[in-house]
Amino acid sequence: MSLGAVLPLSVRGSYDVDDLGRTEILLKSLSEFTPSGFFNCFLIVTPPDEVEVVRKRIQPWSERFPIRVESEETLVPELKKHRHIRGWRKQQLVKLAAANYLPDGFYLTFDADVICLRPIKESQLIINNKAIIQYEKRALHPKWWRSSARILKVSTKLGDPEIGMSVTPAILATELSKNAMQHIGGKKHWADYLCRLHNPKNPNNWRLSRFLQLKWTEYSLYYLSALKSDLLHNYHICCGNRERPQQLLVHDAHPFESWQPAKTFAKDQTGLFCVVGSKSMLEPAEVWQTVAPYIKK
């Protein structure tokens, strides 16, 4: 079973950094550490006016990966009506909507600032037809879980109230992403419902009940809707423990100034990916100079 992948991308991302350049670091690391055929489709999703620019820049990688570059308005047509939605929110919508455009099964979610750390086998990610899921405390971002619970009309204590799923990179099941979309908005289209929450000119949003739904994320919606449907255990298995020590994300690279990449890339470590976040304001060349010795063998 090969994996799909989705990467929401803007040429100049958050904090006006070169996310297209950062994407090439991600692709270099994946090229080094994943076998041929690892991905069945690598979906890159951009603003409509950047599709051709990204296609041209990414084209050299098409021999290594089954890359498909699409407009975010192709994946989420409702964005055409909601020009006020900012990039971070669009990324979250895209990661759920990707389930409608990728082969059935599982897919990895990426951001431009993700870096693969070591060789990865499919058997590390999919075990007995279940994808590994990394947990973190809901208390780290309590508003995410409260807002998503309100949107889905479930208790904030659904499941184990102490834990939720971690952030990008993550592995999503196409069926559970579709399940989440079905549970959002009632009779309204899920993306239209979420976008309308963020329109301050809409009088409906002046109500406290709407305001309390604003902090949703794609992962809290995905996770809680899977629990609501009692489907999570059918598709996911916990990692980062003694039985399955691999971790999808380690936070070693933050803050960048004190990062010791030799330790993060060491063979005895369990992290599969790290993130050199856009907030660091670093140009891709500086990031690549730091990680290249551990990626280009």
pLDDT at 103: 95
pTM, rounded to two decimals: 0.95
Ordered per-residue pLDDT tens for the chain, 297 residues: 679 999 999 988 766 778 999 999 999 999 999 999 999 999 999 999 999 999 999 999 999 999 999 999 999 999 999 988 988 899 999 999 999 999 999 999 999 999 999 999 999 999 999 999 999 999 999 999 999 999 999 999 999 999 999 999 999 999 999 999 999 988 889 999 999 998 777 777 677 778 788 899 999 999 999 999 999 999 999 999 999 999 999 999 988 889 999 999 999 999 999 999 766 778 899 999 999 999 986
Q: What is the rounded CA–CA span in Å between residue 200 and residue 212? A: 13
pLDDT at 141: 96
pLDDT at 1: 61
pLDDT at 270: 95
Tell me the one-letter amino acid at 185: G
Buried b (16+ CB within 10 A) or exposed e, 79-109: beebeebebebbbbbbbbbbbebbeebbbbb
The DSSP element (H or E) to which 275 belongs, if any, is strand 273-275
CATH number assigned to the domain with residue range 3-295, chosen from the 4 options 3.90.550, 3.10.290, 3.40.50, 3.90.660: 3.90.550
The structural domains of the chain, with segments of one domain joined by +, span 3-295
Residue 266 backbone dihedrals phi, psi, to 5 degrees: -60, 150
Looking up tokens 């009940």 gives 209
